[in-house]
Structure 1
C-alpha cells in the first residue's frame, strides 16, 4: 500500500541574536526617574538663583568661632574681645596655670559672669554672658594674687569677631647641638661654661598662659658665642608651660652675656612667639614684664 503524505512543515528560522536596546534594571530606572524629578523641581522652583544653568552644590561650612555648645571661645593670651549682645563666651586657659577663674573682676554692666554647671570641656574656663551693647573690663587674678590678666570687652549687635588663635609652636631647622639644663634666669641670671668649637642650646622656661613676647635685646653676633637665630625652638605647650631653646656657637674663648626681655600681654607683638617687638603699653604690662640673662664662658 502506498502511504499518503501531507504537506511538509516549513522549518522555523532561529530567533535573531543581534543586540538590541535593553530595558534598564528596575533599580537603575528608579534612580534615573528620581534624578530627573529633582532636576525638574529645581528648575520650576528657581533653586540656585533660578538660572538656566542651575547646579546642585554641596553646602560649605563657614568657620565658626564657637565651641560645640555654641559658646564663643577666646584664648587666655587675648587682650581685646569683641562679642555680640545676648551671647555666651569663655576665656579658655590651660590647666595647671594657677588662675582664679571663679572670682573674676568685672567693670561695666555690658558683661556678667555666667554661672551654672561647668561646660563639658577639659580646659579651665572663665565663663561670661554679654548682656547689652557697651564696653567692659574683665580682670583675672593668679592664685597667688601676684599677677593679673586684663581683657577689654566690646559688646555689639553685629556678628562677633572670630577670636585669635592661641600661640602655636615654632620649630626652627637648626641643629641645636648640646642642650644644657642651665639657661636664662631672672636676677643675676644663669651661668654656663662650654668648650670652644661646640654648638649648644640654652633654655628659657616659662608659663605662657598670660601671653608673653620674649625677644633678644642684648647679644653679640661676633663675640665668643654668637646666637645663631632669634627665633627659638619651642618645646611643650606653646600656650601653656613651654621651653624656648636658643642655639649658640662657641667660636672662640671669652665671655658673653645675652639678655632676653619678656613683654607681658603686649598688643604690639605676637604673644609668646618671640618674634614681635614687644613694648609695654599698659600699667599691667609694665608691672609684670621681665628681663632674663645668661652668662656664657667659652674655654
Structure 2
C-alpha cells in the first residue's frame, strides 16, 4: 500500500526509531525482539488537511506515542496487535473495525506478531471546521466512540472508503490528486461524525428545514461549479444553513445527496464533451469535469450509461 509514497525502508533499529519519533510523535520504541533482517517499511502520503500512512514490520514491536494535534483512525492487519489509550485500563485489540486515537491523548501500540497498519490522520482544526459546517454552529468538539462500539454498518463503510482512497492515491495521476484529497477528506470526516458520534447516532429529530430558495442556491451552485470539489464547508456557506440540513432535505427534494447530484451533473457534462468535441481523451474529460480519478469516472460512467466512456474520434 502507498508504495509511491515510500518514506523509509530499513532494518536499522536506529533509523526505525528515528522515523517513529520524527513522523508519528513516537516517544519510546521497543524492538528488543527484532532480528537483524527484520525490515521496517513505512509510507506517508501527505495532503493539505491530513495524511495517510501505511507501516509494516516483520518482528514484535511496541511504541509509545506523545499526544498529537490530530485524530488518527487506525486499521491493524496483524493478529496480536493492541492499543492502550493512556488513562484507560482496557486495550483495543486488533479488529476489522479499526481503532480511534483522539487528539490530545497519549497512547501505546503493542504488536506481538509484527506490525502492519493503515492509518488516516486528520488535524483538530480541520475536524472542527467541518463539524461546525455540518452542524451549522460553533461546536468545536465531538465525543467519538471507538469503531467497535459504533454503528457496525457505518464503521464498515468508512473502512471501505479509506481503503478505496488509499488505492486511489496510489494509482491516481498528480493532476487528479487535489480533487481526490479534498473529496476523500470530506467523506472520511462525515463518516466520523455520523458513524462514531453517540449524539449523532442517538438523534432522532430531523434538522431544521432549509427554505426552497436555500436549496435552490445549492442546486445552482452544483450546476455552475461542477468542476470544483464539494465540501461540507461549501454546502453551509452557499445555503446559509447547516450542511446536515442541506444533505437531509436534498434527499427529500431531489432523491439524492448533494454529492450524488453533483456526480450526475458531471456525468452529463462529460457525456456531452465526449459526443461533441473531438480530440479530448477520457483522462482530459475526467479532469475537466472534476472527477477525482479516471477510474472513478469510468466506473460512474458505465453505471449511468451502460457503456464505457469513448472519445468521439474513437467512435466509428
In the superposition, the TM-score normalised over structure 1's length comes to 0.26
Larger strand share, 1 or 2: 1
Larger Rg: 1
Higher relative contact order (Cα pairs below 8 Å, separated by 6+ residues): 1
